[in-house]
Every structure is written in structure tokens, then in C-alpha cells.
Amino acid sequence: MYQIFTVKNVLEKAWEFNVEIQHIPIYFQSACDSIQRDKIYDIMKYFVIQNILIRLIKAMNDSAYHVKIGIINDD
């Protein structure tokens, strides 16, 4: 719901300031599932991204992460 509100505000501001905009709806789950990650890593190497950063991104994409949420007492 928040995304619709944001798009509405952007369109209103574009109209208000007479700015031409282009918007393309994307189904993000399909877009993310279709990424060829090996190609992205090759491109990162081509643009001389540090190997440590490439390995970090690979680890993040290849692993499942969990977030532990706890209660903090402010007594």
C-alpha cells in the first residue's frame, strides 16, 4: 500500500512542477529470480570491484540470513 502512496505523490509532484516522467511497473519477484548472478560477478570484476566485496555479495546471495528480534527493557 505504501508503494501506491509513493507513486501517487511522485506523479502529483511531476504534474505540479511540469516535469515529464516515465514509469514502468516491475514484478520484482520475477525480476530478481531471473538475474544471472554469474554475469553480474563477471561485470563487477571487469569494473575492478575489489574481490572481497564480490565474495561478500556472493555469500549474501548464496546464504539464508535470519534476524533475531528481542525485547529491550529500558528500566
- Name the helix (H) or strand (E) containing 74: none
pTM above 0.85, yes or no: no
DSSP string, 37-65: HHHHHHHHHHTT--HHHHHHHHHHHHS--
The predicted pLDDT at position 45 comes to: 92
Reported as a single tens digit per residue, the pLDDT across 43-72 is 989 999 899 888 888 887 766 655 566 666
- CA–CA gap between residue 50 and residue 9 (Å, rounded): 39
Helix or strand or coil: residue 5? helix
What is the pLDDT, as a whole number, of residue 12?
92
